């Protein structure tokens, strides 16, 4: 590595090269105990051949010799450091220098207020060393690189002390009474050479450098910094955690370089059941092991951060095919053949198909073995890309940095090519196991949903990520598995919320500054699969305090645009695309979206709306302002009504509730699902009622009323309006004239009359549709009479036709009066360019459209056999505006009926009916 660096420097035209060497290059034979040994630079070659201290010293000396070969091409400077210490250096974990270790123990004892203080010293305390403060070392390096000195120089103190004396200095720096201290000498621990000191004669001559900061002063400054680190660490801890932490700080452990590797525990349940042949599982296992070896060997062999793999195999106790007669598992030779020798086999007594239980067993053992990362894996999986261990570790480090959480908070998932966008086979850190007491997932999981549970859990802190390295699930995934799939019913409610509370409590103790993010899932039932609209949805971005998943439920499995959608967005972990087996309707699609969701809130959008600027940010603002609400109703605006028909739609009252957020502030009775937010993480059992028509009509009102009732009954609030949450809805069919949609909506919403008697009232007067029904009955009666007596029958038919014509005329006349004379101000806020005679035509068509809608409601009532619901009305405001809307509706029906009867009388007189 050093040679590569030197060659690269030469190639790049670098002028100088500084090398940090070590006092370990000096012969061990010179560093005997009993006397101070001052080592001069030339002492490296005494008592040949050279015998530096350990492989570390040999590597440093060899590198110095390599550097000499580049002396003619680079300005090489070499410093041999002798025990440099100071603030910002390692102070725990086994890699710290002895001054930091002693200061840590002293201050931990002081903070713990222990008496007596047991002070641990490795060896007998008579070893002698010199210690150089970091500021002096930096000064020496600066002088060296600016000098002409090409020979190695010592950078260290030439004032040696015994380790015992250094311990006394540490205790003094922490103001610990020496009389209360009991020294524990651990003579079995490594102590290094007996004596070492720096001879600074040469460095003084060459650089004019001498250490200025005394050892006592350096210990004081370093001690203050270490005290601050300890106090900051223990401040959020409970008393029990604090005592244990301080106890651990008063001890030191030998660093095991092998154990020091970052260990990935592969949690691997194996079964021979469910395959075409029992031997298939061994073929799958061998393929898995080969892919594991191929994708980890580079990370394991790489210099720098060290990685290791340990496989925990769980096999059912009664899976006879996988056990030898002597109790050994047949899977071990296969794993060893493929290069894996660190394998732990667990013989498990679990019900068949309980994969999650086997994962839990493996995880408990791996946790006991202090593994770092835990991967919920399967034996039929193939890992496709190398470097995934490094990617996982770096992703967790990135989460810690960007989300400001302790390292290990989070969940990382592979990119699963067999189930795009789904976080299968997740990775969690030992921190997760600490939080949950060694349990990787709750015991409510059988063999499904455990992986998305972990992903959704840490999503609530923005700490779930999907990395680019891929895996492929040979069996299972979105297809069939070798066992009966058993889903954990309701895991997105109580189990997820309980786990969230557990993590939140842990963070409150250990990182109180970390705050949860809001989770919001956008559900879009999609029949059109229009990429123009979907691109706009999928370009939406939330704030940094909210995590959003977009769930698209395609309701036309034959759409030609599905492949394009999958290719563009199927890989995104924040996008979930599901395709219905057939056209099920918007309500069924929304229900499927609810089942896919694990967020606290769900946001319903129509697939043809154009979202407003900062839509998700505005939605989050509304939720945070009223976190106890049942939901929120946004505004769905329409483009300008530039035709007679589109103006008529407004005038008929069809779009009144689409922008209700501009008209009511709180306890809004309901909102259209084109732009509706609802709380999801409550077990209210509320879904969209499929008794309403597939084409819509009433299901949104029913959904909102049920959500509101549950929320209010359980101490929450009703629906609030969110006027800043805006979308634009296009005119249906591009604004082309069609009444069928409104007719079908009314057929559906008529069902609300029986469902909600508390919001229903009886009208004393029939509306237009009921009058038309009467006219139709008269016509039908005339037809029946005509079968026996043509004259009276035809007269009856003419009376029925006259009644229907009178109804139409009266309703048109009444609406002209209302909009032109009685309440012209109500239409002034309408966004339209229709004026003059076209405006009059729009009023006329609006009246016809209203009557057509009312007729749909009557037809729906008749089809459901609810004839007793005739003359009953549903209060669309659900009492929110008192009796006013009811009185106005009844007054309008009274006036229209009177006008109808008057016109009918004129018809009878004029045409002598």
Contacts of 338 (CB under 8 A, 6+ apart): 286, 289, 290, 292, 293
Q: Which of 56, 527, 637, 656 is catalytic?
A: 56
Separation CA 526–CA 837 (nearest Å): 39
Among this protein's residues, is 458 annotated catalytic? no
* Angle, helices 768-786/836-863, rounded to nearest 10 degrees: 70
What is the per-residue burial (b if ≥16 Cβ within 10 Å, else e) of 65-104? Answer: eebeebeeeeebbbbbbbbbbbbebebbeeebbbbbbbbb
CA distances from residue 714 to 514, 565, 710 in whole angstroms, order as listed: 29, 41, 6
Tokens describing residue 207: 């650089």
Q: Quote the DSSP letter at residue 729.
A: P
d(CA 52, CA 10): 29
Q: In angstroms, rounded to a whole number, what is the distance separating the alpha carbons of residues 896 and 901?
A: 8
Best CA proximity match to 35, nearest among 151, 158, 160, 210: 160
Burial of 207 (C-beta count, 10 Å sphere; 0-12/13-18/19+) = buried
Give the DSSP letter string of 92-136: SSS-S-HHHHHHHHHHHHHHHT-SSEEEEEESSS--EE--EEHHH
Place of tokens 């600074």: 200
Separation between Cα atoms, residue 687 and residue 673, nearest integer Å: 13
Residues 184 and 119: their CA atoms lie apart, in Å, by 6
| Euclidean distance between CA atoms 405 and 385, whole angstroms | 28
Residue tagged 């499995």 (tokens): 557
What span, in angstroms and rounded, lies between the C-alpha atoms of 707 and 687? 9
Rounded to whole angstroms, how far apart are CA atoms 271 and 378?
10
CA distance linking residue 40 with residue 26, whole number of Å: 9
First to last CA, the chain: 110
Task: Decide: helix, strand or coil at residue 242.
Answer: helix
Q: Which residues contact 496 (CB under 8 A, 6 or more apart)?
A: 453, 456, 457, 598, 681
Residues designated as active site: 56
């Amino acid at each position: 590595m050093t040679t590569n660096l030197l060659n690269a420097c030469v190639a790049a035209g670098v002028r100088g090269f500084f090398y940090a060497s070590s006092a370990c290059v000096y012969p061990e034979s010179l560093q005997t105990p009993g006397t101070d040994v001052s080592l001069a630079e030339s002492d490296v070659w005494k008592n040949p051949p050279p015998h530096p201290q350990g492989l570390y010293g040999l590597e440093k000396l060899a590198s110095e010799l390599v550097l000499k070969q580049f002396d003619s091409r680079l300005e090489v400077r070499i410093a041999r450091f002798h025990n440099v210490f100071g603030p910002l250096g390692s102070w725990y974990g086994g890699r710290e220098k002895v001054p930091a270790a002693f200061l840590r123990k002293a201050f931990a004892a002081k903070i713990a207020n222990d008496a007596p203080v047991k002070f641990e010293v490795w060896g007998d305390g008579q070893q002698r060393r010199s210690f150089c403060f970091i500021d002096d070392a930096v000064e020496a390096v600066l002088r060296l690189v600016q000098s002409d000195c090409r020979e190695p120089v010592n950078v260290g103190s030439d004032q040696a002390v015994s380790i015992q004396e250094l311990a006394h200095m540490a205790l003094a720096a922490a103001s610990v009474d020496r009389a209360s201290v009991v020294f524990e000498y651990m003579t079995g621990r490594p102590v290094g050479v007996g004596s070492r000191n720096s001879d600074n004669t040469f460095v003084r001559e060459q650089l004019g450098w001498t250490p200025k900061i005394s050892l006592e002063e350096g210990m004081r400054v370093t001690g203050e910094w270490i005290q601050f680190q300890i106090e900051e660490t223990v401040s959020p801890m409970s008393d029990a955690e604090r005592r244990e932490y301080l106890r651990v700080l008063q001890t030191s452990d030998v660093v095991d370089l092998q154990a020091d590797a970052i260990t990935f525990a592969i949690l691997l349940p194996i079964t021979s059941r469910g395959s075409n042949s029992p031997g298939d599982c061994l073929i799958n296992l061998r393929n898995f092991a080969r892919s594991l070896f191929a994708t980890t060997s580079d990370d394991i062999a790489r210099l720098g951060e060290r990685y290791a793999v340990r496989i925990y195999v769980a096999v059912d106790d009664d899976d006879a095919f996988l056990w030898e007669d002597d109790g050994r598992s047949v899977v071990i030779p296969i794993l060893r053949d493929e290069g894996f020798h660190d394998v732990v086999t667990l013989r498990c007594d679990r019900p068949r198909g309980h994969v999650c239980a086997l994962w839990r067993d493996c995880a408990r053992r791996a946790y006991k073995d202090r593994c770092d990362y835990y991967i919920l894996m399967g034996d039929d999986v193939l890992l496709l890309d190398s470097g995934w261990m490094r990617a996982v570790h770096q992703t967790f480090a990135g989460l810690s940095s960007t989300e400001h959480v302790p390292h290990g908070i989070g969940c990382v998932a592979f990119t699963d090519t067999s189930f795009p966008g789904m976080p299968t086979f997740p990775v969690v850190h030992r921190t997760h196991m600490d939080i949950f007491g060694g349990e990787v997932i709750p015991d409510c999981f059988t063999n499904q949903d455990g992986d998305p549970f972990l992903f959704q859990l840490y999503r609530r802190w923005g700490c779930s990520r999907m990395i680019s390295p891929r895996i492929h699930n040979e069996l299972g995934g979105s297809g069939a598995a070798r066992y009966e799939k058993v889903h954990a019913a309701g895991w997105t409610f109580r189990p997820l919320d309980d786990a969230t509370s557990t993590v939140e409590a842990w963070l409150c103790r250990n990182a109180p500054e970390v705050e949860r993010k809001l989770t919001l899932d956008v559900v879009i039932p999609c029949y059109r699969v229009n990429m123009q609209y979907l691109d706009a949805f999928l370009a939406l971005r939330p704030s940094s305090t909210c995590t959003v998943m977009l769930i698209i439920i395609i309701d036309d499995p034959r759409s030609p645009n599905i492949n394009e959608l999958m290719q563009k967005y199927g890989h995104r972990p924040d996008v979930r695309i599901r395709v219905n087996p057939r056209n099920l309707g918007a309500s069924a699609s929304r229900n499927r979206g609810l089942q896919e969701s694990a967020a606290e809130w769900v946001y319903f959008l129509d697939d043809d709306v154009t979202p407003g600027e900062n839509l998700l940010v505005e939605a989050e603002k509304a939720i945070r302002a009223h976190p106890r609400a049942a939901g929120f109703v946004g505004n769905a605006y329409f483009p300008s009504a530039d035709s007679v028909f589109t103006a008529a739609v407004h005038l008929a009252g069809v779009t009144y509730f689409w922008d209700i957020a501009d008209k009511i502030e709180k306890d809004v009775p309901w909102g259209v699902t084109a732009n509706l937010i609802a709380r999801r993480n409550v077990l209210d059992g509320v879904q969209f009622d499929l008794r309403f028509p597939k084409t819509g009509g009433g299901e949104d009102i029913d959904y909102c009323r049920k959500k509101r009732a549950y929320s209010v009954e359980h101490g929450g609030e009703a629906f609030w309006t969110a006027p800043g949450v805006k979308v634009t809805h296009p005119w249906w069919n591009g604004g082309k004239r069609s009444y069928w949609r409104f007719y079908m909506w009314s057929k559906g919403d008529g069902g609300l009359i029986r469902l909600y008697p508390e919001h229903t009232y009886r009208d004393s007067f029939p509306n237009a549709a009921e009058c038309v029904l009467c006219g139709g009955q008269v016509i039908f009666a005339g037809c029946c009479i005509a079968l026996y007596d043509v004259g009276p029958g035809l007269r009856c038919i003419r009376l029925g036709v006259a009644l229907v014509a009178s109804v139409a005329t009266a309703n048109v006349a009444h609406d002209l009066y209302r909009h032109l004379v009685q309440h012209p101000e109500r239409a002034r806020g309408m966004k339209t360019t229709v004026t003059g005679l076209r405006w009059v035509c729009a009023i006329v068509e609006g009246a016809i459209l209203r009557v057509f809608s009312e007729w749909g409601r009557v037809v729906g009532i008749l089809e459901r056999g609810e004839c007793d619901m005739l003359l009953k009305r549903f209060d669309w405001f659900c009492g929110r505006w008192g009796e006013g809307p009811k009185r106005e509706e009844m007054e309008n029906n009274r006036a229209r009926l009177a006008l109808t009867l008057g016109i009918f009388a004129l018809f009878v007189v004029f045409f002598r009916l």
